[in-house]
Amino acid sequence: MSETTSRALELLALLQTHRHWPSRELAARLGVTGRTLRRDIDRLRTLGYSVSATLGSVGGYQLEAGPELPPLLLDDDEAVAMAIGLRSYASEGIADGEITALTALAKLEHLLPPELRRRVNALSAHVQPVRRSTPQVPAELLGQLALVCRDRDRIRFHYAARDGSETDRLVEPHSIVSSARHWFLVAWDVARADWRTFRIDRISRFFNTRVRFEPRDLPAEDAAEFVEVAVSQIPNARQHADVVMELPLDTMRARFGPWAEGAEAVDDTHTRWPIGGESFEALLGALAWVEAGVDYRIEGNDAFAAFVAETAKRMLRAATARPERSIAPGVGQKSGA
């Protein structure tokens, strides 16, 4: 492969990973001059790739959508990841996902080298995703949301909330999360000046404003944790209880982070923390957040308190039980002869 061809392929790979590349940064990554970069861009255009250019001190290049799908450059790991993802895609609650995924997978696997095809088949044979039985999400909407999360574009959409109310929202999208058998959009709600999670199957009339925004710090370790917290606090959870712990409210919030949602001060030294879940086992998992050395009691659900007491007894027995070791005759004993 000639140096020019190799460089053009590297340029194409870079353009496919970013929305916009500043000219100087792109030339530096390729180790070429600005003039050579412009010639390489022109070569890609002659091959059918739509590459736009912007002028000025912040000018650069951007790979845009054209009238048809151009070839994609994938390394080995990306090809395997895409093949595995397509197999999982069929069961992820996406409208028409199974047929679309299988036809795309057939085309991709046809091009995979034998060794990569074996890796894909081995992984697929031993990794089985859980099939969803909840509302499906249009693949096109998922794709649009993924792009605005990447490009940091503000969006508008119509939202049907769990309680039946319907509103129009203006948000700054952060991430898409698959959790609790649903797809969620994590975003900053501009009107409410707060972070929110939105069930994507309840989103309609999507509109990209093309207005860029500066990223904000999510009040959680990551988007998945943020969604997990939000789902655990849904008001119609089957079981509820209050945990009253011997911690001042400020200290509790500092230690629990986003999981402290809903906590309130009982007095200067105690905090009431509401917990909810689908079962007693789920509530029991929440108690693990209380650090060792912090005294607490359970209120508001006598049945759950009894469940905790009985579970604690069984766990204590399991932790202290020791199997009786049988000793065969003559083993470890001195002979009487």
Q: Could you read off the pLDDT of 180-236 as tens digits, one per residue?
A: 677 889 999 999 888 888 999 899 999 999 999 999 988 877 888 788 777 666 555
**Of the listed ranges 122-136, 240-254, 279-293, the one predicted with least confidence:** 122-136
DSSP result, 154-199: EEEEEEE-TTS-EEEEEEEEEEEEEETTEEEEEEEETTTTEEEEEE
Any domain includes 89: yes
Quick check: is 27 in a domain?
Answer: yes
Q: Over the range 61-77, which residues count as b (16 or more CB within 10 Å of their CB) and which as e?
A: bebeeeeeebeeebeee
Question: Are 283 and 241 within 8 A, CB to CB?
Answer: yes
pLDDT of residue 105: 66
Q: What is the mean pLDDT of residues 288-293?
A: 85
Could you tell me if 257 and 289 lie in one domain? yes
Res 265 pLDDT > 70: yes
Judged by average pLDDT, the poorest of 26-40, 81-95, 155-169, 288-302 is 81-95
Supply the CATH number for residue 298's domain.
3.30.70
What is the pLDDT at residue 133? 53
Highest mean pLDDT pick, 56-60, 129-133, 182-186: 182-186
Separation between Cα atoms, residue 1 and residue 9, nearest integer Å: 10
Helix (H), strand (E) counts: the chain? 11, 12
- Do 242 and 296 have their domain in common? yes
CA within 13 Å, CB half, 166: 7
- What span, in angstroms and rounded, lies between the C-alpha atoms of 254 and 182? 30
Rounded CA separation 71/73 (Å)? 7
- 143 and 122: one domain? no
pLDDT-derived band at 337 (thresholds 50, 70, 90) equals very low
First CA to last CA distance, the chain: 87
CATH number reported for the structural domain that contains residue 19 in this entry: 1.10.10.10
Q: Does residue 337 fall inside a structural domain?
A: no
Provide the pLDDT for residue 92. 59
- Tell me, yes or no, whether 116 and 143 share the same domain: no
Q: Does residue 333 lie within any of the structural domains? A: no
Percentage of the chain modeled with pLDDT above 90: 20
Mean pLDDT of the 280-284 span: 83
For tokens 């501009």, name the residue: 190
How many CB atoms sit inside 10 A of residue 332's CB? 6
pLDDT reported for residue 226:
80
Q: What would the two tokens of residue 296 be?
A: 């607490």
Cα 15-20-22 angle, rounded to 5 deg: 100
Is residue 133 a part of any domain in this protein?
no
> How high does pLDDT run on average in the chain?
79
Same domain, 294 and 268: yes
Residue 135 has pLDDT above 70, yes or no: no
Tell me, yes or no, whether 151 lies in a domain: yes
Give the span between the Cα atoms of 82 and 111, in whole angstroms: 13
Exposed / middle / buried, residue 329 (Cβ in 10 Å: 0-12, 13-18, 19+): exposed
Asked if residue 326 is part of any domain, the answer here is no
Number of domains in the chain: 4
Q: By the 8 A CB rule, do 259 and 229 touch?
A: yes
**How far apart, in Å, are the Cα atoms of 309 and each of 313, 315, 318?**
6, 10, 14
Q: Which domain holds residue 246?
A: 233-319
pLDDT at position 172: 96
Same domain, 163 and 241: no
**Length of the chain, in residues:** 337
331 has pLDDT over 60: no
Name the most confidently modeled range: 59-63, 74-78, 276-280.
Answer: 59-63
Distance from C-alpha of 171 to C-alpha of 213, rounded to nearest angstrom: 10
The pLDDT assigned to 89 comes to 62
Tell me, rounded to whole angstroms, the distance of Cα 242 from its chain centroid.
Answer: 29
User: What is the C-alpha to C-alpha distance for residues 45 and 66, in angstroms, rounded to an integer?
Assistant: 11
Q: State which of 13, 31, 64 marks the end of a domain.
A: 64
Of 246 and 261, the structure prediction assigns the larger pLDDT to 246
Same domain, 199 and 156: yes
Q: Is the pLDDT of residue 154 over 50?
A: yes
Confirm whether 308 is domain-assigned: yes
Q: Is the pLDDT of residue 335 over 70?
A: no
**Residue, of 6 and 173, whose pLDDT is higher:** 173
